[in-house]
Amino acid sequence: MARLQAVKSHDVIYDDMRQSLADALAYERGQKVDLRVTEIPAPPKILKPREIRHIRESLHASQAVFAHFLCVSPKAVQSWEQGSRRPQSTALRLLMIAKKNPTALLQS
């Protein structure tokens, strides 16, 4: 009985995969398909230390206050601005948002 269920399970998985590949192919050919398409944004570019300092200064914030806005330590902001470390993932994304719209950090 368990073996029969496993075979059915594999058949269902195979049919689902085959249908998914057929839908993807139709989508690539420009045919109308009922798919959910998610565009993943490119990772943010690395900021230079002077760019980070400029973002902070545009907010008229000290390193400690700026660190609070970004939910990082003041030492992290200091090391970014000195160039000894680089911001990672989430902090980098927040910096890019702040670069485009500095007051966005103040509104949260």
> SS3 sequence, the chain?
CHHHHHHHHHHHHHHHHHHHHHHHHHHHCCCCCCCCCCCCCCCCCCCCHHHHHHHHHHCCCCHHHHHHHHCCCHHHHHHHHHCCCCCCHHHHHHHHHHHHCHHHCCCC
pLDDT at 76: 96
The ranges assigned to domains in the chain are: 1-38, 49-104
* CATH class as words, domain 49-104: mainly alpha
Dump pLDDT digits (tens) for 27-77.
Answer: 899 988 887 778 888 888 899 999 999 999 999 999 999 999 999 999 999
Quote the pTM value: 0.64
Q: Average the pLDDT over 8-12 and give the result.
A: 75
